Amino acid sequence: MAGDKSRGRIIFHVDVNSAFLSWSAVKRLKEDPRAVDLRTIPSAVGGDVKTRHGIITAKSIPAKKYGVTTGEPVVSALRKCPDLVLIPSDFAFYRECSHAFIDILKKFSDQVEQVSIDEAYMDMTGREAAFSAEIAAGERFPECAAARIRQEIREKLGFTVNVGISHNKLLAKMASDFAKPDRTHTLYPEEVPAKMWPLPIGELYGCGRQTADKLTTMGIRTIGDAAAADPDILKSILGDKAGESIHRKANGIGSSTVRVEREKAKSYSHETTTSEDITGENFDHLVPPMIAHMADKVAARMQRDGVRAGTVFVVVKTGAFKRHTRQRGLAVPTCEASVISETGLQLLRDLLLGDGGLFARGETLRLLGVGGSNLEEGEYRQLDLFSWASQQKMETGERKEGSDVPAAKREEAKHDVRKVRQGDTAAAPAKETGDSAKTASQGGKAAEQDEANEKRRRLEEMMTRVQKRYGNAVLQKGMSRSGDKEKKDPSAGHER
């Protein structure tokens, strides 16, 4: 049962119903109010509509009735449902919808944690006052708050959400996944035996397909079976960490901490679970397009938020439920999909292929992810160019491999600078702020102006070189971010 600490907290998990599909339907109806509502016919978002290849990323409820599933190849979905209407994805519009959705949630609570483009947790503890009229009429606070949230999203934005309510995030998340669409469900700890334990173990949040398969073969078929199992048995099947985690979750134990500072993300990443095991044999066929697709999404989000990443990382999850990550510092921070994609692919080759790779150890993969960390905003641009300049000098004198070290040091330094700027003084002793901070704050009074002029001249030089090497986009985005963004993204101003 849920830990005592979370008792009394009211946590919502709000999840957009068939998000991409609903949002495409909303857009279509906006453009042509007489168009058929995609939600009412077998339809799906994903893949290349023309060539009919790729993967389904969202499907309508009528499509689900044909057995079409998210993550399955378009070809196989069409076999199940030949009349399936395929729609191309439209991430620019999806982001707008996502923003508008989160904005509404923030009207109901200042404790909102967005966990993906279409879902968020809200801490609704102690917010009864706003609903006193309904409560006086004999309604229960959480349910009437949820009803109001659903109504406002439906009426203002034209799509529907499910709201799951409990004392912690895990149970709220499980609850929002019950019957859809446009529904509220509670899953309080006392409801767990009746509502959650009869479900197949694979439906437990965080229990992947391979874990579920392993447990099922061992006779642990439902969430209740796992809850009742001896934790040591689960550990012996799944390993200590995963076994412990499944046991806790099956018993409804989870965190109730809603992390608010989502806007200041520490990293941007995208992960995809594949419908087919990735092995050494199909790596070249499957992985490059997946990474390119995910890098596109990561880059789009970074560009939207006006940040660049100094480090690219990849994450994989093996059939044995183990996560592995690799990361690499970049000479120049980026928000370009091609750089993220190329670096990610190199990292994956290092991690997976060759004699020392995971494939050589007999592993297969079910999940792949790529992302960027060591984020920085436009204002650091100039300092970066100087660091890059000194590094370039070094590269011409030394061998290229040497660049990894200063890059890592530089990132450390920038990281500390950021902490100082954010007021986290304890984390960053002044002497460790590194070269990028020094360029901003050191130098004698008289020499300072000369030095600044000299730097400006070098900066101009560097910019020309960067421009030649990385193209125009990288500079424009960094230099005049806000002005640029408005010009480049005409959809950003749409009313929703």
Q: Active-site residue numbers?
A: 119
| Tokens describing residue 193 | 């035996």
Name which of 137 and 179 has its Cβ closer to Mg ion.
179
Length of the chain (residues): 496
Q: Taking the CB of residue 477, how many other CB atoms lie within 10 A of it?
A: 21
User: Of 14-22, 102-110, 214-222, 419-427, which part binds Mg ion (CB under 5 A)?
Assistant: 14-22
Q: Nearest distance from residue 270's CB to Mg ion, in Å? A: 16
User: Of 15-23, 25-33, 409-417, 477-485, which part binds Mg ion (CB under 5 A)?
Assistant: 15-23
Q: Nearest distance from residue 17's CB to Mg ion, in Å? A: 6
Out of 2, 14, 19, 347, the residue judged to bind Mg ion by CB under 5 A: 19
Q: Taking the CB of residue 272, how many other CB atoms lie within 10 A of it?
A: 18
Out of 15, 336, 363, 376, the residue judged to bind Mg ion by CB under 5 A: 15
Name which of 118 and 411 has its Cβ closer to Mg ion.
118
Name which of 59 and 477 has its Cβ closer to Mg ion.
59
Contact positions with Mg ion (CB under 5 A) in 99-138: 118
Q: Nearest distance from residue 276's CB to Mg ion, in Å? A: 23
Q: Nearest distance from residue 496's CB to Mg ion, in Å? A: 18
Q: How far is CA 256 from CA 5, 12, 207, 290, in A?
A: 8, 10, 19, 34
Q: 């069409």: which residue's tokens?
A: 78
Name which of 18 and 222 has its Cβ closer to Mg ion.
18
Name which of 15 and 336 has its Cβ closer to Mg ion.
15
Binding mask 356-395 for Mg ion (x = CB under 5 A): ----------------------------------------
Q: Nearest distance from residue 265's CB to Mg ion, in Å? A: 20
Q: Which of 68, 104, 103 is nearest to 86 (CA)?
A: 68
Determine contact, residues 189/178, Cβ cutoff 8 Å. no
Q: Nearest distance from residue 285's CB to Mg ion, in Å? A: 29
Q: Nearest distance from residue 489's CB to Mg ion, in Å? A: 24
| Tokens describing residue 375 | 């984020």
Determine contact, residues 89/46, Cβ cutoff 8 Å. yes
Name which of 39 and 247 has its Cβ closer to Mg ion.
39
Q: Nearest distance from residue 119's CB to Mg ion, in Å? A: 6
Binding mask 62-101 for Mg ion (x = CB under 5 A): ----------------------------------------
CA 381 to chain centre: 25
Work out the burial of residue 52: count CB atoms within 10 Å of its CB; fewer than 13 is exposed, 13-18 middle, 19 or more buried: middle
59 binds Mg ion (CB under 5 A): no
Work out the burial of residue 386: count CB atoms within 10 Å of its CB; fewer than 13 is exposed, 13-18 middle, 19 or more buried: middle
Name which of 164 and 243 has its Cβ closer to Mg ion.
164
User: Of 12-20, 28-36, 44-52, 132-140, which part binds Mg ion (CB under 5 A)?
Assistant: 12-20
Name which of 214 and 301 has its Cβ closer to Mg ion.
301
Q: Residues touching Mg ion: how many (CB under 5 A)?
A: 4
Name which of 115 and 353 has its Cβ closer to Mg ion.
115
User: Of 13-21, 125-133, 274-282, 450-458, which part binds Mg ion (CB under 5 A)?
Assistant: 13-21
How far apart CA 65 and CA 67 sit, in angstroms, is 5
Name which of 118 and 123 has its Cβ closer to Mg ion.
118
User: Of 16-24, 101-109, 195-203, 205-213, which part binds Mg ion (CB under 5 A)?
Assistant: 16-24
Q: Nearest distance from residue 14's CB to Mg ion, in Å? A: 9
Q: Nearest distance from residue 209's CB to Mg ion, in Å? A: 19
Residues that bind Mg ion (CB under 5 A): 15-16, 19, 118
